[in-house]
């Protein structure tokens, strides 16, 4: 996160965010001076205000807004919390520093003078206000200088520049380069890339198998993992690899509703982050497996079966009804296949065939046969 | 984890592990041919067989052993599971590959011919057998070619070599180098180190704050985090930095029983891994904070207080009774201070003073004043 000084792109972005905050504050002051009630408009981040944009194949936030009024007992606290966090963000921009979500909670935390009322009851309250602020200002969390816990690693045929340091992902040993929470172009630049695609896997233990077998060197690609459901930093990096370098993104996930959900979020975005789908969602992302058909196709034994429970079945049906899946014959068949099987399968189950079956046979064959869901 | 071929140290280590497995198997065969019952001795990994070695200041496993008999209905399954995993390990050594704990479960998983009995009911069973095998053979998990989920990152004034790749931890940007699960000398070598000490922090968000402020450059040190309770890979790397490079290890953890427990494990080892304390425990590790006195010393407000609950109080008392803490005046005072306060404090609470108070004031002052617990 140390930013290179003098970079005009960063300065421009920060200046724009700063102006948005000043405009928000000036709106409040103007109303107050005119003896009117200060009000801010907050776009509604609910399922009801989430729209499936069929043309662009991403989830978007609709136009619904709620007014947050200062002189409303139910809203005054949130109103003031929004102002408080706006102030903190301006300080971060001025200091050219970033803070974690937990750090923002503490930064804004104090007892209101003359009362025993804390500004925030807990971090959840603080996190919610930050998301409100993102949509109010039309500025991403990264632009507010706020970061989250990082997770995920990358290796492969690409050189990145991170805060001025050249990161040669071909020379990252067994550990890999840890993907930071903020990967915007002012922090991370792409320098040199020969890779033809990205293979994204769910778990870091599977990633280690692929790295040890040097899959990325043999198949000229980039290998990433996101520690389960990938955090924003990982999704954003995948998105940039996809759009800026034109690399297809292939996902290798478990054959279960959780794997399908991870794929869905990578591909179309999520309801809670619908306001930044354009920056995160990768409509062209492909699902190479594990597929429901693999029990037969790979000649697996009964030992790898993990029974679906009631929650799994319910989740599978919900996912099948997602607007981007409900008219997709391939995905309808896939989810029906999972339900018909009655069991889940993990990527690691392929180890019952051979330690390196997944890296040497499964993925190469599927890619060669263009056998995936998208 | 791709190992450099032709390295005699690796070959020697693998050959030694292989010999141990062969010896184990030969013992079984010898008994069988002599028409005696095959039996293996498994050292007992329980609290009762854990000894506090006051001289070396680490937890050790005692001499108690349990016999695992093939012709005992209660033990036959575990006996055979041990043989099965031994066989898998030999295959891994021969193939020069490693597998995750989950992978080992799948590798050994099959239905016993002519029955409907699976070799392992679940991964827990498999993990337990692997720990048994470690202590039976006197070979660490890493020597059995088995790895776990990785967590933790490192930056700072050190150059590592990982599987032949040079990792300059001074040039790792905002993300850092992800610490792998296996960091034994055949995988990771230390090449160049100017650092005078290691600062280990609990959470990766705090680590990001220190990295952004380039604490490691200003104070000529190495900065690590372990994602909460550090996994074996991180502890082993810290241990190697401590013993091989002679660097003191300073820990910055929360002022709560969980923070104290993390410190305790880094310092003396844990009961479940007592058999490898010599390779993991760092008796000289120092606790720089957060301290119970900091509420006053740093002039913090009531806002940062997080009430101790009953579980916290119980845990604090348990930790105070650990043999390495119970005669340690400093730690008795520290834990009593926490109980007297009646509240916990997180490292992030220092953000209420200033974004960079922890990096610019707190840690530098404590280190300068030699103000820590050890």
Which ipTM score applies to this complex?
A: 0.90
- Tens digits of residue pLDDT in B33-59: 999 999 898 998 888 899 999 999 999
pLDDT at A331: 97
Which of B210, B245, B236 has its CA nearest to residue B147? Answer: B236
Alpha-carbon distance of A331 to A263, in angstroms, equals: 11
Alpha-carbon distance of B80 to B126, in angstroms, equals: 12
- Tens digits of residue pLDDT in A305-319: 999 999 999 999 999
Cβ atoms within 10 Å, residue A309: 10
DSSP code of residue A170? T
Q: B169 CB near a chain A CB, below 8 Å?
A: no
For chain A, the 3-state helix, strand and coil shares in percent, each to the nearest 5, are 45, 20, 35
**Stretch B294-315: mean pLDDT, rounded?**
96
**pLDDT score of B299 more than 90:** yes
Which of A180, A321, A215, A315 has its CA nearest to residue A259? Answer: A315
Alpha-carbon distance of B238 to B231, in angstroms, equals: 11
**pLDDT score of B3 more than 80:** no
Q: Are B123 and B105 in contact (CB under 8 A)?
A: yes
**Stretch A221-233: mean pLDDT, rounded?**
95
Q: Model confidence at B72, in pLDDT bands (50, 70, 90)? A: confident
Q: Going by CATH, does the domain composed of B8-147 fall within 3.40.50.11540?
A: no
With CA atoms as reference, the chain A residue closest to B177 would be A177
If you search the block for the tokens 């937890």, which residue do you land on?
B59
Q: A19 CB near a chain B CB, below 8 Å?
A: no
**pLDDT score of A323 more than 60:** yes
**Stretch A15-36: mean pLDDT, rounded?**
93
Q: B84 CB near a chain A CB, below 8 Å?
A: no
- Tens digits of residue pLDDT in A334-343: 999 999 999 9
**CA trace torsion B164, B166, B172, B175 (10° rounding):** 10
pLDDT at B9: 74
- Whether A205 sits inside 8 A of B173 (CB atoms) is no
Structure tokens at B290: 């957060």
Q: Model confidence at A7, in pLDDT bands (50, 70, 90)? A: low
pLDDT at B150: 87
Q: Are A202 and A234 in contact (CB under 8 A)?
A: no
**pLDDT score of A3 more than 50:** no
Structure tokens at B14: 């693998």
Q: B166 CB near a chain A CB, below 8 Å?
A: yes
Q: Model confidence at A5, in pLDDT bands (50, 70, 90)? A: very low
Q: Are B98 and B146 in contact (CB under 8 A)?
A: yes
Q: Which residues of A137-162 are buried (b: 16+ CB within 10 A; e: fewer)?
A: bebbbbbbbbbbbbbbbbbbbbbbbb
Q: Which residues pair with A67 in a beta bridge?
A: A41
Q: Are A108 and A125 in contact (CB under 8 A)?
A: no
pLDDT at A276: 86
Residues of A in contact with B107 (CB under 8 A): 351-352, 355
In residues, how long is chain B?
A: 374
Please report the DSSP string for A46-103 in residue order.
Answer: SGGGEEEETTTTEEEE-S-EEEEETT-TTTHHHHHHHHHHHHHHHHHHHHT--EEHHH
**What is the average pLDDT value for chain B, to the nearest integer?**
93
- Whether B109 sits inside 8 A of A179 (CB atoms) is no
Residues of A in contact with B176 (CB under 8 A): 177-178, 180
- Tens digits of residue pLDDT in B80-105: 999 999 999 999 999 999 999 999 99
Distances (CA, A) of A215 to A44, A201, A363: 44, 12, 10
Residues of B in contact with A85 (CB under 8 A): none
**pLDDT score of A41 more than 60:** yes
- Tens digits of residue pLDDT in A110-162: 999 899 899 999 999 999 999 999 999 989 899 999 998 889 999 999 999 99
DSSP, collapsed to helix, strand or coil, labels residue A125 as: helix
Q: Is the dihedral of CA A82, A85, A89, A95 positive or negative?
A: positive
For chain B, list the strands marked E by DSSP: 39-43, 50-53, 58-61, 65-69, 99-100, 146-147, 153-156, 158-162, 165-168, 177-178, 188-193, 197-201, 221-225, 249-252, 286-289, 306-307, 343-344
pLDDT at B275: 87
Alpha-carbon distance of A190 to A159, in angstroms, equals: 6
Q: Are B154 and B176 in contact (CB under 8 A)?
A: yes
Q: Going by CATH, does the domain composed of A153-368 fall within 3.30.365.10?
A: no
Alpha-carbon distance of A354 to A299, in angstroms, equals: 12
- Tens digits of residue pLDDT in B305-318: 999 999 999 999 99
pLDDT at A145: 95
**What is the average pLDDT value for chain A, to the nearest integer?**
93
Alpha-carbon distance of A45 to A135, in angstroms, equals: 9
- Tens digits of residue pLDDT in B312-364: 999 999 999 998 999 899 999 999 999 999 999 999 999 999 999 999 999 99
Residue spans of the domains in chain B: they are 8-147, 153-368
Q: Which of A34-38, A292-296, B135-139 has the highest mean pLDDT?
A: A292-296
- Whether A99 sits inside 8 A of B153 (CB atoms) is no
**Stretch A266-289: mean pLDDT, rounded?**
91
Distances (CA, A) of B64 to A96, B48, B77, B82, B136: 59, 9, 22, 19, 12
Which of A4, A100, A173, A360 is the best mutation test for B, with the most CBs of B within 10 A? Answer: A173
Q: Which residues pair with B287 in a beta bridge?
A: B251, B373
- Candidates A111, A348, A355; nearest CB to B301: A111
Q: Which residues of A40-59 are buried (b: 16+ CB within 10 A; e: fewer)?
A: bebbbbeeebbebbeeebbb
Size of the A and B interface in Cβ pairs below 8 Å: 201
- Tens digits of residue pLDDT in A344-356: 999 999 999 999 9
- Whether B1 sits inside 8 A of A164 (CB atoms) is no
Q: Are A144 and A159 in contact (CB under 8 A)?
A: no
- Tens digits of residue pLDDT in B14-23: 999 999 999 9
Q: Are A287 and A337 in contact (CB under 8 A)?
A: no
Which residues of A are tagged catalytic? 106
Q: A95 CB near a chain B CB, below 8 Å?
A: yes
Q: Model confidence at B272, in pLDDT bands (50, 70, 90)? A: confident
Residues of A in contact with B92 (CB under 8 A): 355
- Tens digits of residue pLDDT in B143-200: 999 998 889 999 999 999 999 999 999 999 999 999 999 999 989 999 999 999 999 9
Q: Are B113 and B66 in contact (CB under 8 A)?
A: no
- Whether A99 sits inside 8 A of B351 (CB atoms) is yes
Q: A24 CB near a chain B CB, below 8 Å?
A: no
Which residues, 6 or more positions from B253, have their beta carbon under 8 angstroms from its beta carbon?
B201, B202, B259, B260, B262, B263, B287, B289, B290, B347
Alpha-carbon distance of B372 to A176, in angstroms, equals: 33
- Tens digits of residue pLDDT in B238-258: 999 999 999 999 999 999 999
Q: B164 CB near a chain A CB, below 8 Å?
A: yes
Peptide linkage before B290 cis (omega within 30 of 0)? yes
Q: A148 CB near a chain B CB, below 8 Å?
A: yes
> Same CATH topology for B8-147 and B153-368?
no
Residues of B in contact with A231 (CB under 8 A): none
In chain A, pLDDT over 90 holds for what percent of residues? 81
């Amino acid at each position: 996160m140390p930013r290179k000084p003098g970079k005009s792109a960063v300065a421009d972005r920060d200046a724009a965010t700063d102006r948005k905050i000043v405009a928000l504050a000036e709106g409040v002051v103007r109303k107050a001076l005119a003896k009117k009630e200060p009000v801010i408009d907050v776009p509604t981040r609910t399922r009801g205000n989430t729209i499936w944009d069929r043309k662009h194949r991403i989830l978007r936030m609709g136009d619904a807004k709620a007014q947050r009024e200062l002189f409303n007992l139910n809203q005054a606290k949130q109103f003031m919390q929004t102002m408080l966090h706006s102030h903190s963000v301006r300080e971060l921009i001025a200091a050219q520093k970033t803070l974690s979500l937990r750090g923002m909670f503490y930064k804004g935390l104090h007892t209101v003078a003359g009362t025993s009322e804390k500004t925030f009851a807990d971090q959840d309250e603080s996190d919610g206000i930050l998301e409100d602020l993102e949509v109010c200002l039309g500025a991403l969390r990264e632009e507010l200088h706020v970061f989250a816990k990082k997770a995920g690693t990358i290796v492969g045929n690409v050189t990145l520049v991170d805060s001025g340091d050249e990161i040669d992902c071909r020379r990252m040993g067994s550990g890999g380069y840890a993907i930071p929470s903020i990967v915007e172009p002012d922090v991370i630049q792409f320098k040199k890339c020969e890779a033809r695609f990205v293979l994204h896997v769910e778990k870091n233990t599977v990633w280690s198998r692929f790295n040890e077998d040097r899959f990325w060197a043999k198949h000229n690609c980039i290998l990433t993992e996101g520690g389960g459901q990938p955090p924003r930093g990982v999704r954003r990096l995948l998105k940039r690899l996809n759009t800026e370098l034109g690399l297809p993104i292939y996902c290798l996930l478990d054959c279960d509703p959780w794997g399908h959900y991870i794929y869905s979020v990578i591909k179309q975005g999520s309801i809670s982050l619908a306001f930044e789908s354009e920056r995160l969602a990768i409509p062209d992302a492909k699902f190479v497996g594990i597929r429901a058909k693999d029990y037969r196709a790979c000649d697996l034994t009964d030992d790898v079966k993990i029974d679906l429970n009631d929650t799994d079945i319910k989740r599978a049906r919900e996912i099948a009804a997602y607007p981007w899946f409900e008219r997709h014959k391939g995905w309808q068949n896939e989810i029906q296949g999972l339900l018909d099987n009655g069991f889940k399968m993990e990527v690691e189950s392929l180890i019952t065939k051979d330690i390196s079956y997944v890296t040497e046979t499964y993925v190469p064959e599927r890619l060669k046969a263009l056998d995936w869901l998208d």
